[in-house]
């Protein structure tokens, strides 16, 4: 099954994607994780993307579309994949239609004030992409999955978060109508208990 997770920053796309890909045994393709890795490794893409990400802006469509197209052509995507953070603009969605067929789009819906609270307490592993929240970390400072140090993302500072939210509403939210019109959009309430949200997503995916 080919799945898209759509939702504002902090909606829980990454958190829920990790659970879903484990349950369905498909790869999670997080464009944010791919770009953060490229920045860490100082690849040409990483160098180009850094200033956009740090400012809370989207990287240019042409940069990200080629990355996703190449990634979806890899062998592990043959039985399906979960796109987390792509597409993010209507041109990206239109480009995706030329090289992929999407079965389900899950929109995670969370109010803006809750998003800011979640993001300010987030810690991530830059190595494997695992995501945590300080409220559940205790004194752990390394990743449960791979042992690498946990860090706060550069773009999780308060003022950048507000930019990212505004970019979401102006550039990404139009995708709700785009996929509604195609009839494969499923809205899931992303507020509340993580296990309950996961159960609801699996219900939608299995329907």
Catalytically active residues, by annotation = 13, 88, 122, 153, 164
- Residue 9 binding ligand AP5, by CB under 6 A: yes
* Cβ atoms of residues 118 and 39 within 8 Å: no
* Cβ atoms of residues 205 and 24 within 8 Å: yes
* Cβ atoms of residues 167 and 56 within 8 Å: yes
Q: In angstroms, rounded to a whole number, what is the distance separating the alpha carbons of residues 6 and 3?
A: 10
- 116: its two tokens: 């800011």
Binding to Mg ion in span 12-71, by CB under 5 A: 14
- Residue 129 binding ligand AP5, by CB under 6 A: no
Q: In angstroms, rounded to a whole number, what is the distance separating the alpha carbons of residues 81 and 103?
A: 10
- Residue 201 binding ligand AP5, by CB under 6 A: no
Q: Binders of ligand AP5: how many residues, by CB under 6 A?
A: 33
Q: Which spans of this chain sit near ligand AP5 (rule: CB under 6 A)?
A: 7, 9-15, 31-32, 35, 52-53, 56-59, 64, 85-86, 88, 92, 118-119, 121-122, 131-133, 155, 164, 194, 197
Q: Which spans of this chain sit near Mg ion (rule: CB under 5 A)?
A: 14
């Amino acid at each position: 099954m080919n799945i898209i997770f759509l939702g504002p920053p902090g909606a829980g796309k990454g958190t829920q994607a990790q659970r879903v890909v484990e349950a369905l045994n498909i790869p999670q393709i997080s464009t944010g994780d791919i770009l953060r890795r490229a920045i860490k490794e100082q690849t040409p893409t990483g160098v180009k993307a850094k200033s956009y990400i740090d400012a809370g802006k989207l990287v240019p469509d042409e940069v990200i579309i080629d990355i996703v197209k190449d990634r979806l052509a890899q062998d592990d995507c043959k039985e399906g994949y979960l796109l987390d953070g792509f597409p993010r603009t209507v041109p990206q969605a239109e480009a995706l239609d030329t090289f992929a067929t999407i079965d389900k789009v899950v929109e995670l819906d969370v109010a803006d004030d809750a998003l800011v609270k979640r993001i300010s307490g987030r810690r991530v592993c830059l190595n494997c992409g695992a995501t945590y929240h300080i409220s559940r970390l205790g004194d752990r400072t390394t990743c449960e999955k791979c042992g690498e140090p946990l860090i706060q993302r550069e773009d999780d500072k308060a003022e950048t978060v507000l930019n990212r939210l505004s970019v979401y509403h102006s550039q990404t939210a139009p995708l709700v109508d785009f996929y509604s019109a195609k009839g494969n959009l499923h809205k899931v309430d992303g507020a509340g208990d993580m296990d309950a949200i996961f159960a609801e997503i699996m219900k939608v995916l299995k329907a």
